[in-house]
Each structure stands twice: as structure tokens, then as C-alpha cells.
Structure 1
């Protein structure tokens, strides 16, 4: 499941895929209908990789919850968000048994299930480990590239003569 560039935009239904960044915001494409929209910097935008659900122990990332739903449903759709609240709560309790019932509302559960069903319909969910761009891996790659670049430049670099100042003369 690769949700590195999937966005939730406040006030807009569904999810969006980040396409490119502009000076005044960015361009996103709706996963729901494929329409492209521009989003300003003032809009409240969240990456799915940064969203988590409250539990009694620690917050659980949304990506892990979606993976748990994919495992439970064998990568099929979750229950409909139009079910009654008691069914939705029972279903979510099967997925996340220790979720904080005081801070996670039925509307939150509906949103998670709706987002899961949307991503599932587009073939973007799986039972595999989530492939979130790991900052440490990216950092290691950059350090490796920089180190290789320094080695190459130090081998090919010739020392330039320095200018003499008036005091040295």
C-alpha cells in the first residue's frame, strides 16, 4: 500500500493524490473522479501517512489500520458506512480493539471506512507492509550519493593557485 502522496483536504469530499507543487500551493487529482484541483497554502491539508487514530496506549497510524482492514477483508471492501452506528463501532473494534472510544467518534470511523473503500476500489490497498517513504532510508541514500560525489570530485579536483594578498607580497 503506497499512500505517500495521498491527501485529505478539509472541506473537499474524498481523497486526492498530490501531483505537483506550485508557488502558491499544489495541484492534486481527486481519486474519486479524477478531476484536478489547485489547493492553496491556506487550505487545511493532511497526508494520510500523518493521520493516526487514538488508542488507549499510543496513537495508531491510519496506514496500519487500513492494512488491518485489508487483512480482515482479504483486500475486499469494508462494510458500508451506511450501516447503523452499533455495527460500525463493533466492526471497528474488531480492527482496532484498543481504540479510545471517548476520542474516536462514529464520524471518524465512517471517514476511515469511506477512505479505505475509496482506496480499495482504486486498487491502492493491500495486505503487504505499507511502503511509506522512510526518512532514514532517504537520508542514507542522500548521504551515500553525496559521499560518492565527494570522492569523485576530490579525485578529479586539482588544487587551484590562491591569489596572494598585498601583505604576502
Structure 2
């Protein structure tokens, strides 16, 4: 998976592809039907998806990288839009339990699960190459040469 180019920005909805640095921050492009470029100042909180993890219980490490969670979602649901009722707490908990059985219910909130579903759907729709396995990416690059 290649989540190092995708970011969530505090106070802005959706996901953004990081294009390049600028003098005062970074230039990003929104992942939507009509992408818009913007400059995000260094003072704004930018979270790169590769650096995000989710809390789990019963392991030496208390968290699992978001990349691994997305891989589990992809394995169970493929590269298709997730059909999860984000208004139903029970539906969200059933979903997270199916892809991350040892999730920490005390530290993962309903809003976090909603973000997971929304982000996965955004990536599937606008940037599915970010969800490809590293092996798939390498074989694609070798075939192009």
C-alpha cells in the first residue's frame, strides 16, 4: 500500500494527495470529483495516513497501522465501496469487529470507525492505486519496463 502521499487535514473534510512542499507548507489536492489544489500552512495539523494507527488489545504492540487495517478491509470487501450504515453505532461496531477483531472499544470511538469507512471509500473511488499491495505495484512497474 502507498499511503505516504495521502493526508487528512484537521478542520477540512475528506482526504488530500500531497503534491509537493512549498515555502510556507505543502501543496495538496483534494480527492473528489473536481479536485482542488490548495496550500496548507505548516501551522495546520496534517496527518499522513501511513503514520496513523488504530488501538488493539491483547498484543505486545497496542496499535495496528492503518495500512494493515485497510489491507484487512480490502481482503474482506475487495476494492468496492463499503456498504456500512455510518449512522448506526451497532453497524459500525460490527464492521470494525469483522476487519479488526481485537480492536480496543475503549479507545476507538464511533467517529474513528466512521472516518475509516469514509476514507476507505474515498480511496477506492478516487485513488485505488494507494490500496495496491507493494508486490502488485512492483509487478506493474516491471511490466511497464
TM-score by length of 2: 0.83
- 2:45 is aligned to 44
Structure 1, residues 48-83: CA drift from partner, whole Å, max 9, x if none?
000000011221000111111111012212223534
Structure 2 gaps, min length 5: 137-145
> Given that residues 2 and 131 in structure 2 are in contact (C-alpha distance below 8 angstroms), is that contact kept between their aligned partners in structure 1?
no
Alpha-carbon distance in 2 for matches of 1:43, 1:20: 16
- 2:108 is aligned to 104
> Given that residues 84 and 91 in structure 2 are in contact (C-alpha distance below 8 angstroms), is that contact kept between their aligned partners in structure 1?
no
Distance 1:83 1:3, change over 3 A: same
SS in 2 for 1:124: helix
- 2:74 is aligned to 70
Alpha-carbon distance in 2 for matches of 1:80, 1:130: 29
Question: What root-mean-square deviation, in Å, do the aligned CA atoms of Structure 1 and Structure 2 show?
Answer: 1.8
- 1:137 is aligned to none
TM-score by length of 1: 0.72
> Given that residues 81 and 114 in structure 1 are in contact (C-alpha distance below 8 angstroms), is that contact kept between their aligned partners in structure 2?
no
> Given that residues 74 and 127 in structure 1 are in contact (C-alpha distance below 8 angstroms), is that contact kept between their aligned partners in structure 2?
no
Shift of 1:27: 0.5
> Given that residues 84 and 95 in structure 2 are in contact (C-alpha distance below 8 angstroms), is that contact kept between their aligned partners in structure 1?
no
Higher Rg of the two aligned structures: 1
> Given that residues 6 and 17 in structure 1 are in contact (C-alpha distance below 8 angstroms), is that contact kept between their aligned partners in structure 2?
yes
State how 1:14-163 maps to structure 2 within 5 Å.
14-32=14-32, 33-56=34-57, 57=59, 58-122=62-126, 123-124=128-129, 126=131, 128-129=133-134
> Given that residues 67 and 130 in structure 1 are in contact (C-alpha distance below 8 angstroms), is that contact kept between their aligned partners in structure 2?
no
Alpha-carbon distance in 2 for matches of 1:8, 1:78: 19
Distance 1:119 1:128, change over 3 A: same
Structure 1, residues 32-57: CA drift from partner, whole Å, max 9, x if none?
24100110010011100000000112
